[in-house]
Structure 1
């Protein structure tokens, strides 16, 4: 082997070593950049990406459901607006206040419930025979009705009949009539032992009226009950009765010396 060949072989060997060293250096650098622990990190990233994909899919499904629900929501809104208009139109006809019904028998200051002991005389030895009570009706009348009139009904009346009456005055009078009728119903149903002597006589009169064929099962009051606060036995009260009779809210009849006003359901 001559010197040239030996030098060439040595250069080739050195070059081969240098190439191998460079490759090893690159491998070391790559190993430092992507250590074995990075496999776990990549798995976690992959799991997070899959979770995000599922969330995005759920959001898309929810948006699709909401989009389909929009037409139904629009229909509900339209129905609510129509109902609101109906309620607003009804509120125009209702009176500005609705007083609470108080079932009381004390229409006059001299009327009131008295204990049984107050009605007995200290030296009374004989019992006064009580009149036979009229059997109670099987079905209760319930609360008196409140059939208010509307502005259209009031406007439909002639000017001479309507006069200076307002919708609020007439409907407030209807409240009073229901209160009178309810007080009479309680008086009719009350037992004798809970009533004063003058109340018992009135209760018997009311029971006689209540059992009349034309009045049986209906709510009623007497003309003498009209003592306010809104309905009184004056010119305004008589005008209100005329209007309500014309509009079919009441009817009137005579029972002895009493003028009876019967509450009616409008036709």
Structure 2
């Protein structure tokens, strides 16, 4: 009985020993398949994976921020579109170009007067000074700049085809610049001192001041029909049609004072 138990224990020990040998053999095979140098590569792969995980996390955060910003961007786009419509509406009231107003400065008047005087002999200069006309009546100051009241595309479209003809919005508004320039030149001449007005403008200055003292033109900006000399407005068929349109739309009014046809600029109410 004791011999049987001893044999059984020996068999068990042999089996365990064989199992241990098999396990060691598997470990040897695994060691040969995955040498120690592969541990470094596996560490590098692990580091790269961790870096990629951090990048993915950052990308997710950025996407979350962009998603939250989409409603704000939509509001900004809507506001920009509304502003664009406002600017387009404003541009309809402004002509393509605004030419500079030709004005007669006091310096030019003074130069003209000195040039006229210097051409005369010295013996006659004293006579000219003594025979100068009496001082012109001073007109009240405060006219300011002439009104620039442009027409709109809606007003142009409201006109009948025979009145509008081939005239464009830019051409009519360019003529508005011209009539304002004529009125500005007359204001400069009215305000110029007597000694600074050249001889060739003296008669016109007297006529303008007589017109400015009338009830129809007092305190208003005006020009004469004879002032119409371009560059955009001329006394041709197109120019007369433009004046008719401006009178019809309430930009100007006309009256006759003496032998002059006077065009008065109206202000926007």
Q: Quote the offset at 1:185 in angstroms.
A: 0.5
Report which stretch shifted further, 126-135 or 156-165. Answer: 126-135
* Runs of 4+ with >6 A deviation: 73-77
Structure 2 partner of 1:91: 91
Report what 2:158 is aligned to: 156
Q: Quick one: distance in 1 between partners of 2:79 and 2:118?
A: 62
Aligned to 1:131: 134
- Root-mean-square deviation over aligned CA pairs: 2.6
> Can you list the C-alpha shifts for 1:104-152, whole angstroms capped at 9, x where unaligned?
279xxxxx8231743765213441142232123142x111111100111
Structure 2 residue matching 1:253: 3-state secondary structure: strand
Greater relative contact order, per chain length (Cα 8 Å cut-off, separation 6+)? 2
User: 1:197–1:86: structure 2 CA closer, same or farther, 3 Å change rule?
Assistant: same
For 1:1-267, what aligned pairs fall within 5 Å after superposition? 81-104=81-104, 113-115=112-114, 117-118=117-118, 121-124=121-124, 125-126=126-127, 127-139=130-142, 141-267=143-269
Does the CA contact (< 8 Å) of 1:119 and 1:196 recur in 2?
A: no
Contact 1:247 1:266 in 2 (8 A): no
Tell me: CA distance 1:197–1:80, structure 2 relative to 1, closer, same or farther (3 Å): same
- TM-score between the two structures when normalised by the length of structure 2: 0.64
Show the counterpart of 2:26.
Answer: none
After superposition, the Cα gap between the structure-2 partners of 1:159 and 1:266, relative to the gap in structure 1 and judged at 3 Å, is farther
Corresponding residue SS for 2:92: helix
1:251, CA displacement in angstroms?
A: 0.2
Quick one: distance in 2 between partners of 1:119 and 1:185? 28
Q: TM-score, normalised by structure 1?
A: 0.65
Change (3 A) 1:229 1:77: same
Q: Are the aligned partners of 1:105 and 1:184 in contact in 2 as well (CA < 8 Å)?
A: no
Say which SS state the counterpart of residue 115 (structure 1) adopts: helix
